[in-house]
Amino acid sequence: MEMNLTTNTQQQTTILHLINITRTFDGVKALDSLSFEISKQSITAIIGPNGSGKTTLFNVITKFLKPDTGKVIFKGKNITYLAPYKISNIGIGRTFQTIRIFPQITVMENMLLALEKGRIEGLFYGLNPFIKHSSKELERKAEELLSKVELKDKINEYAGNLSHGQRRLLEIMRAVALNADLYLFDEPTAGVFPEVRIRILTLFKSLKEEGKTIIFVEHNMETVREGAERVIVLDKGKIIADGEPKIALESEKVIEAYFGG
Ligand SMILES: Nc1ncnc2c1ncn2[C@@H]1O[C@H](COP(=O)(O)OP(=O)(O)OP(=O)(O)O)[C@@H](O)[C@H]1O
Ligand SMILES: [Mg+2]
C-alpha cells in the first residue's frame, strides 16, 4: 500500500473539511459550491453581508439543514448525512444567532442541564459517563465555567433576569459545558457591550489553548481583527476572501461587497 505523507499530515491538522457544498432555497443559492478546510486548534471568523449564507453554513455543518450537494468531513469522517441529534455526540457544539437558554430556571440549572447532557454523551472531561456523578461535582464544574466569563455571581439568578450580554455569555458557556472539539458560535458578540466582547474573545483564546477549534460569525471588523487568526468572507454563498484578517479585510472584493452598490 502506498503511503502519502502529505495527506496524512493534512488529516492530522484538519478538523473540518467542506467540499463543494451547495444549498438552495427557492432557486436562490444560499451556499454555492463552497469548499474550505479548518485547522484543528484555530480561531476563524466568518463574515459577510446579511443573507450571504453564514447561518446556513452553520446549519449545514450541524445537520439542521442538508446540503443539496457536497460533503462535510469532520475529524476524517463523512458526517454529511448524520442525524442532527448526534452532532454533540461527535464533538460539535454551537450557539444560535437568537439566544437559546431556559429563561425560567436559574443560571446554575441552565449549566447543570448542559453538563448532564455532556456527561451522558461521554463528552465531559475527567468524568466517567457511566458513573452518576454527585450534583456537587457538576455544580463545581458549572461554577468553574461561569467564573471564566465573570458570571459566577449570577449563579442563582433566573436566566430570564440576565442582561442581554449575560445571556449571551450563559449560552456560550452552556455550549462549552458540552466539551466539544469544534465550536460554532453564530454572532456571539452581537449587541453586547465592549467589555463583554473582550470576555468572549478571551474565552475563545483560552478554549484554543485547551486544544479546541472555534468558528464564529461576526459583523464587527474590529472584533475580527482582535479575535480571529483567519477570516473567511462570504458573499452570495461564495468565498470572496480568506486569510489573515488584516490582509483579507482590505481586499477589494470585500470592500465592494460591503460598501459597493
Ligand atoms: N430556512 C430557510 N428558508 C428559506 N430561505 C432561507 C432559509 N434560511 C436561509 N435562507 C435564505 O438563504 C440566504 C442566506 O441566509 P443566511 O441566514 O444563511 O444568511 P446570513 O449570512 O446568516 O445573514 P445574517 O447576517 O442576516 O444573519 C438568504 O437569502 C436567506 O433568505
Ligand atoms: Mg445569520
Q: What is the pLDDT of residues 197-212, one digit of tens each?
A: 999 999 999 999 999 9
Residue ranges with strand state E in the chain:
14-25, 28-39, 43-47, 69-74, 77-78, 92-95, 182-186, 213-217, 230-235, 238-243
Q: What CATH number is associated with residue 157?
A: 3.40.50.300
Domain containing residue 97: 5-259
Q: For residue 12, what pLDDT is reported?
A: 57
Nearest atom in ligand 1 to 234's CA:
21
Give the total number of structural domains in the chain.
1
- Count the alpha carbons within 13 Å of 219 in the hemisphere toward its beta carbon: 13
Separation of alpha carbons 26 and 48, rounded Å: 21
Q: For residue 129, what pLDDT is reported?
A: 57
Q: For residue 1, what pLDDT is reported?
A: 43
Ligand (nearest to CA of 234) = 1
Show the ligand 1 pocket: residues with CB < 6 angstroms: 25, 28, 30, 48, 50-56, 97
Coil, strand or helix at 156: coil
Nearest atom in ligand 1 to 52's CA:
21
Q: For residue 2, what pLDDT is reported?
A: 44
Question: pTM of this prediction?
Answer: 0.91
The residue whose CA is least distant from atom 6 of ligand 1 is: 25
Instruction: Give per-residue pLDDT as tens, 74-125.
Output: 999 999 999 888 888 899 999 998 889 999 999 999 999 998 887 776 665 5
Q: For residue 126, what pLDDT is reported?
A: 57
Ligand (nearest to CA of 26) = 1
Low-confidence ranges of the chain (pLDDT < 70): 1-12, 121-134, 261
The CA-based dihedral angle spanning residues 101, 51, 67, 185, taken in that order and rounded to the nearest 10 degrees: -30
